[in-house]
Amino acid sequence: MCGIAGIFLGDNQGCVDSILLERMTASMRHRGPNGSGTWSDGRFGLGHRRLSIIDLSEKGAQPMSDPTRKIWVSFNGEIYNWLAVRDELKALGHVFSSECDTEVLAAGWQEWGPDLPHKLHGMFAFAIVDLRRKSLFLVRDRLGIKPLYWAKVGADLLFASEIRALLEHPRLVAEPNPERVDAYLTLGYVPGEQTFFKGIEKLRPGHSLLIEAGQQTVRRWYDPSQIDPLQIDFESAKEQLDELLTRSIEERLMSDVPLGCFLSGGVDSSGLVAYLTKKLGQRVQTFTVGYPEDKSELGHAARVAELFGTEHHALELTHGDFFRGVDRQLEHAEEPLLESAAVALLELSHFASSHATVLLSGEGADEALAGYPLYERNLKLDRLRQIFFPLRNSSVRSVARRVLPGERMAKYLDWLAEPTTARHQGNSCDVTPAVRDLLYGPGGDDGHWIQDHFTELFGRTRGQDLVARMQAADLETWLVDDLLLKADKMTMAASIELRVPFLDHRLVEFGLALPRSHKIRGSVGKYILKDLFSECLPKDLLFRTKQGFPVPISQWFREGLFERVQRLLTDERTTARGYVAPGYVQNALARHRSGKEDLGRRLFSLVVLELWHRRWVEGESNPAAALGE
Whether 413 and 508 share a structural domain: no
Q: What is the pLDDT of residue 322?
A: 83
Whether residue 359 contacts residue 499, with contact meaning beta carbons closer than 8 Å, is answered with yes
Q: What is the CATH number of the domain that holds 49?
A: 3.60.20.10
Plot region of 38 (φ>0 → left; ψ -120 to 50 → alpha; else → beta): beta
pLDDT class for 399, splitting at 50, 70, 90?
confident
pLDDT of 550 > 90? The answer is no
**Three-state secondary structure call for residue 541:** helix
Report the alpha-carbon distance of residue 121 to residue 147 in Å, rounded. 16
HSE at residue 346, side-chain half, CA atoms within 13 A, is: 25
Position 383 scores a pLDDT of 92
Spatial contact of 229 and 465, defined as CB atoms under 8 Å apart: yes
On whether residue 226 sits in a domain, the answer given is no
Provide the pLDDT for residue 478.
96
Query: Which residues lie below 8 Å from residue 486, measured CB to CB, with a gap of 6+?
Result: 333, 337, 339, 341, 342, 345
Interhelix angle 407-415/394-403, rounded to 10 degrees, is 150
Instruction: Report residue 318's pLDDT band, with 50, 70 and 90 as the boundaries.
Output: confident
Give the per-residue pLDDT at 319: 82
Task: Check residue 254 and give its pLDDT.
Answer: 85
Question: Which DSSP category does 161 fall into?
Answer: S
List, for residues 363-389, the tens digit of each pLDDT value: 999 999 999 999 999 999 999 888 887
Say if residue 390 is in the same domain as residue 431: yes
Backbone angles phi, psi at 66, to 5 degrees: -80, 175
**pLDDT, mean of residues 13-33:** 95
Q: Over 80: is that where the pLDDT of 12 sits?
A: no
Q: pLDDT for 486-499, tens place per residue?
A: 999 999 999 999 99
pLDDT of residue 55: 59
126 lies in some domain: yes
Q: Is residue 225 in a domain? A: no
Distance of CA 221 to the CA centre of its chain: 20
pLDDT for the residue 396? 75
- Expressed as residue numbers, the domain containing 356 is 234-322+330-370+469-542
pLDDT at 390 over 80: no
Query: Does a structural domain hold residue 93?
Result: yes
> Does residue 385 sit in the same domain as residue 313?
no
Percent of the chain residues past pLDDT 70, beyond the cut: 97
Within a domain: 227:
no
The region of weakest confidence among 110-114, 164-168, 202-206, 288-292 is 288-292
Q: Are residues 252 and 397 located together in one domain of the fold?
A: no
Which amino acid does the sequence have at 343? V
From 437, 466, 495, the end of a domain falls on 466
Helix (H, G, I), strand (E, B) or coil at 83: helix
74 belongs to a structural domain = yes
Model pLDDT, residue 234: 98
487 occurs within a structural domain? yes
- Whether 295 has a pLDDT exceeding 70, the answer reads no
What pLDDT is attached to residue 54? Answer: 62
Q: Give per-residue pLDDT as tens, 60-75.
A: 789 999 999 999 999 9
- Residues with Cβ within 8 Å of 610's Cβ and at least 6 positions away in sequence, in order, are 568, 569, 571, 573, 574, 577
In the prediction, which pLDDT does 629 show? Answer: 60
Q: Which long-range contacts (CB under 8 A, 24 or more apart) does 571-577 make?
A: 571/610, 573/610, 573/614, 574/610, 577/610, 577/613
Task: Judge whether residue 307 has pLDDT over 70.
Answer: yes
Query: Given this model, what pLDDT does residue 60 score?
Result: 73
Assess whether 352 and 435 both reside in one domain: no
- pLDDT on residue 156: 96
pLDDT tens-digit readout, 322-344:
878 899 999 999 999 998 889 99
- Under DSSP, the state recorded for 33 is B
179 and 310 together in one domain = no
At residue 223, does pLDDT exceed 80? yes
Pair 127, 167 in one domain: yes
The confidence score (pLDDT) of residue 119 equals 98
pLDDT for residue 352:
96
Q: Among 106-120, 218-232, 268-282, 549-563, whose mean pLDDT is lowest?
A: 549-563
Q: What is the pLDDT of residues 564-620, one digit of tens each?
A: 999 999 999 999 999 999 899 999 999 999 999 999 999 999 999 999 999 999 999
Query: Hey, how many other C-beta atoms are within 10 angstroms of the C-beta on 611?
Result: 23
Residues 424 and 566 in one domain: no
Query: Looking at residue 6, what is its pLDDT?
Result: 98
What would the mean pLDDT of 500-525 be, rounded to a whole number?
97
Query: Torsions phi, psi of 329, nearest 5?
Result: -65, -45
Residue 546 pLDDT:
61
Q: pLDDT for 79-107, tens place per residue? A: 999 999 999 999 999 999 888 889 999 99
* Pairwise pLDDT comparison (442 vs 476), residue with the higher score: 476
User: Which residue, among 41, 16, 211, has the nearest Cα to 133 in the 3D structure?
Assistant: 211
Residue-by-residue DSSP string for 335-393: S----HHHHHHHHHHHHHTTT-SEEE--TTHHHHHT--HHHHHHHHHHHHHHHSGGGGS
Residues forming beta bridges with residue 128, ordered by sequence position? 73, 137
Average pLDDT value for residue range 385-395: 80
515 CB contacts (<8 Å, ≥6 apart)? 229, 230, 231, 232, 237, 465
Instruction: Please indicate, yes or no, whether residues 451 and 487 belong to a single structural domain of this protein.
Output: no
Average pLDDT, the chain: 93
Residue 548 covered by a domain? no
627 secondary structure, DSSP code: G
**Same-domain status, 354 and 482:** yes
What is the percent of the chain where pLDDT is above 90? 78
Q: What is the DSSP string of 455-503?
A: HHHHHTTTTS-HHHHHHHHHIIIIIIIIIHHHHHHHHHTTT-EEE-GGG
Q: What is the pLDDT of residue 547?
A: 61
> Do 251 and 186 share a structural domain?
no
As a whole number, mean pLDDT of residues 390-398 equals: 77
What is the average per-residue pLDDT within 436-446? Answer: 88
List, for residues 241-286, the tens digit of each pLDDT value.
Answer: 999 999 999 999 988 788 999 999 899 999 999 999 999 999 999 9
| Rounded CA separation 380/400 (Å) | 20
**Range with the poorest average pLDDT among 149-153, 360-364, 539-543:** 539-543
Residues 431 and 185 sit within 8 Å (Cβ to Cβ): yes
What is the predicted pLDDT for the residue at 102?
92
What amino acid occupies position 44? F
Q: Does one domain contain both 293 and 339? A: yes
End-to-end CA distance of the chain: 37
Residue ending a domain, among 542, 562, 591, is 542
At 301 the pLDDT is: 93
Among 435, 466, 497, residue at a domain's last position: 466
Number of structural domains (the chain) is 4
Instruction: List the single range of 407-411, 450-454, 567-571 with lowest mean pLDDT.
Output: 407-411
Q: How high is the pLDDT of residue 296?
A: 64
